[in-house]
Structure 1
Amino acid sequence: MRKWEIFKKISIRELILYLLIFVNFAVLVFLIFFLQKSINSNPNLVFPPDVRGKNLVEATDILAKNNFKVVIGGILIDKNKDPLMVLDQNPLNTKVPLGSIIFLWINMPQIVKIPDLIHKDTGEARNILEKLGLRVEIINGENGYIVRQIPESGFFIEKNATVILYSYTPQEPTYTSYTTEPYTGGQ
């Protein structure tokens, strides 16, 4: 009789609650089993091709040829991988209906924000850009100061890209000789 004493301590409400939890669990197990059988037996479900490690253009072509739609799901940055390489995809190793959307995560090239170099000395501007990993082309000479830059400040560009700087070198004023005779108005 001792094993039934536990039920004397449980109220009817608790007993009904435990019974409902058990029934819900049994239904969940049944649904999982049933859905797994129906998914595995559905001929319209296929595994999407694995396009990780391919460049974005190639990956998009492969998925499109297999009747999938592509959406860029995110951007990752891996300095050791090529720019625009697919680093991950979802779904992967899961059967999905033909025509499903495949999300791709791509590697972005390292980018830098262009600083404002206007009115800076050309040497200082060159040093700033080279420290950012950019190439520099200076138009109108290496002396003077920067009056224009392409791209403008605030833009983002890929490392190793070229920034064009336009310099201006002020000229020393030249003085001409003059006379001390008064101007007579050309008479």
Structure 2
Amino acid sequence: MFDFITKRSFGFNLLVVIVLFFALALLFFSMLGVITKHGQQLTVPNVKGKNVVEAIDLLEKAGFEADVRDSIFIDSLPPLAVYAQTPDNGAQVKVGRTIYLTVNKTVAPMVKMPDLEGFTFRSAEMMLKSLRLNVGDTIYKPDFAANTVLQQLFNGKRIKPGTEIPEGSNITLIISSGTGSVENPVPNFIGLTYAEAREVLSASNLNPGTIIIDPNVKDTANAYIIKQVPTRKNEIGDYNMVRAGETVDFWLSATKPEVDSSKQASPDQQEE
């Protein structure tokens, strides 16, 4: 064979090479349709919501490859259910194309609870959504800072920022509805313990403001109110008025103040 090539002229050998090149090129392009399966297209079936094992089996029987590309947690989907597929169902693709699947996780990942108190409701909602948490119930309570988050609750209890909870959890928000339009006399808190005062505040839809505590106080809940602002009455003896959602400041002492019992109203009488 080598002698056959060397005994021929350069021009003849070049011609042979060119002919072979075009013959191989012609063969390649004629087989290209078979290699790439040109014209052989199938419709991608819908496997969303199906268990991943069932989805892969269905895709392979339909002439496709299947690969789990990513995972996500959606609380409304069963574990290992297909959340998304690429290409989407109904797409026309070539036989043997790989269909990439996003599957729902079996266990919810844990996320840290953010501090939402003081946020507007819209900002709190966006923050929860970014962490894949949900807004559960919204409870409105009178307060001067309208439309802001006053408290955040999980399973009915106040939750501290940084506490780890499952992704997809529902967070209850207590939202300020602003101050009321009706004015009522300020209750008289002098002589009450702070715990009793909190009950009166709650019943009156008022909030505690600044709390100044005497150094001798060891138990804040059982400390006594010795001063309040606003006071029950003003300098000329008229009742001071407050609206629902406003605050009352307190001064606490370990010693109960001497109160004229004839002028001291009980908590039930204070709203009269």
> Fold conserved (TM > 0.5)?
no
Quick check: which one's strand share is greater?
2
Answer 1 or 2: higher relative contact order, Cα 8 Å, separation at least 6.
1
TM-score, with structure 2 as normaliser: 0.30
Query: Looking at CA atoms only, which structure, 1 or 2, has the larger radius of gyration?
Result: 2
Quick check: which one's helix share is greater?
1
